Amino acid sequence: MTERPALEIITIGNELLLGETIDGNSAWLGRRLAQAGIRVARRATVGDDAATIRQAVGEALERTGVVLCTGGLGPTRDDVTKPVVAALFGRELVLDEQLLERLRQRFRERGLEMPASNRTQAEVPAGARVFANPRGTAPGLALEDEEGRLAILLPGVPHEMHALVELSVLPLLRERWPRRGRPILHRVLRTTGMPESALAERIEEVVAGLEPLSVAFLPAVTGVDLRLTSWGELEEADAVRAFDRAEAALLEHIGTHVYGRGDEELTDAVAALLTSRRLTLALAESCTGGLIGKRLTDRPGASVFLLADVVAYADEAKVRLLGVAPATLAAHGAVSRDVVREMARGAQRVGQAECAIAVTGIAGPSGGTPAKPIGTVWIAAAVGERLEDRHVRFGGDRAEIRERAAQAALALLWTLLRESGT
């Protein structure tokens, strides 16, 4: 493996040092550059202070030779990155007439006159490459000296920075480093319903055989995500083939727990099954309070299958809206197997839906008893005549218990749908 080309990142802004803004730009750049086979050697964050910016940029150029700065390119006098870096390279700021006209045009299109302060944004260091900003007023800039030291200046607004990186910075770096490193690539498989330790045991042998890919276990309230990583040993096409082989091997062992890849949600898997089979769904929620409905309707397309969600928070609502028998509630309490089953059947009936999910439990922080401590949840799922229930005791705080309960209920329906499918 060849040593990867490297650069340093400097993010600029008092709001970063004060912690009012979390530096998401550095993380985004780290991921994007890793994918492009470029290493981030080091990062720094400095305030809107000319001397410190000058010092930090100077050190990075001395050390690594290439520095990418974000922030401090706005039109106000707080924004000093451009004159400071221009001075460091011994360049004057000159007015770029074309850029000025583009800025004026931008304001005109919005029916506005350009404020005088924005004129400084059309000034660029002599000899700099200027990258038009498709989403804002501050252009990207690149300065290179005779010894090949390169400073790239980008605005700090994330979506403007992202666009400039894709359109201008990555092409520039590819030009500079035609033989750059192999990319660091990831593939994530998302699992649910199996704790990390059990999962690790089940796939121990498979994992050992996946080299040079590494596997990380990332537990979350939704389940455990498995992140496969190719750390630059493979070319992109080979890494994709290795991911495919690894995925196939893992699915053989834990296939019934893998609901998606990347950022796919369990709701996407459930939605896909319901939609393709033209089945309809109704929900009956108690402790999750609308969370399952919310999650299913987060993405478009839920209206095809989701008919209704009855959040019956009070006992009387369970009786009146879902037809739970008062005798069942009296005999077993609201958090019980019998009630959750009646809730599921009630949801099917009142929603006139083929499938149902029901949840009732104690999310806390109060309401727990020795027999039914906080975290006690009953879930049920129905597909036609078939009705399955499950009793779980979740850990965590109120929010975590609710999220875990919603995920477990969706997982139960997902399993039933897969078992009942063709």
**Which residues from 374-403 bind a copy of itself, rule CB under 8 A?**
398-399, 402
Phi-psi region of 100 (alpha: psi -120 to 50; beta: other; left: phi over 0): alpha
Residue of 1, 2, 27, 393 interacting with a copy of itself (CB under 8 A) = 27
Residue 130 or 188: which CB sits closer to a copy of itself? 188
Contact residue for a copy of itself among 201, 235, 298, 419 (CB under 8 A): 298
Q: What is the CB neighbour count within 10 angstroms for residue 202?
A: 15
Closest separation in Å from C-beta 300 to a copy of itself: 6
Q: Which of 38, 44, 61, 161 binds a copy of itself (CB under 8 A)?
A: 44
Say how far apart CA 310 and CA 321 lie, in whole Å.
Answer: 7
Using CB under 8 A as the binding rule, the residues of this chain from 186 to 245 that contact a copy of itself are none
- SS3 assignment, position 66: strand
How many whole angstroms separate alpha carbon 276 and alpha carbon 270? Answer: 10
Rule CB under 8 A: is residue 308 a binding residue for a copy of itself?
Answer: yes
Work out whether 119 is an interface residue with a copy of itself (CB under 8 A). no
102 lies in the binding site for a copy of itself (CB under 8 A): no
User: Taking a C-beta distance cutoff of 8 angstroms, is the pair 193, 374 a contact?
Assistant: no
Q: Which is nearer to a copy of itself, 292 or 382 (CB)?
A: 292
| Residue 12 binds to a copy of itself (criterion: CB under 8 A) | no
Nearer to a copy of itself, 42 or 253 (CB): 42
Q: Give the integer Cα–Cα distance in Å for 102 and 290.
A: 48
What is the distance, to the nearest Å, from the Cα of residue 309 to the centroid of all Cα atoms in its chain?
A: 27
Site for a copy of itself in 145-184 (CB under 8 A): 184
Residue 165 per-residue DSSP state: I
**Locus of tokens 């009070």:** 314
Residues 319-358, mask of contacts with a copy of itself (x by CB under 8 A): -xx----------------------------xxx------
- Using CB under 8 A as the binding rule, the residues of this chain from 56 to 75 that contact a copy of itself are 56, 59
Single out the segment in contact with a copy of itself by CB under 8 A; choices: 92-100, 128-136, 314-322, 414-422. Answer: 314-322
User: Which one of residues 40, 84, 99, 417 is an interface residue with a copy of itself (CB under 8 A)?
Assistant: 40
Interface with a copy of itself, residue 306, by CB under 8 A? yes
Site size toward a copy of itself (CB under 8 A) is 71
Provide the residue type at 366 as one letter: S
Residue 227 CA neighbour count, 13 Å, CB half: 11
The amino acid sitting at 75 is P
User: Restricting to residues 253-292, which ones interact with a copy of itself according to CB under 8 A?
Assistant: 283, 285, 287-292
CA atoms of 270 and 250, how far apart (whole Å):
21
**Are the C-beta atoms of residues 309 and 283 closer than 8 Å to each other?**
yes
Which of helix, strand or coil describes residue 184? strand
**Closest CB to a copy of itself among 277 and 398?**
398
SS3 91: coil
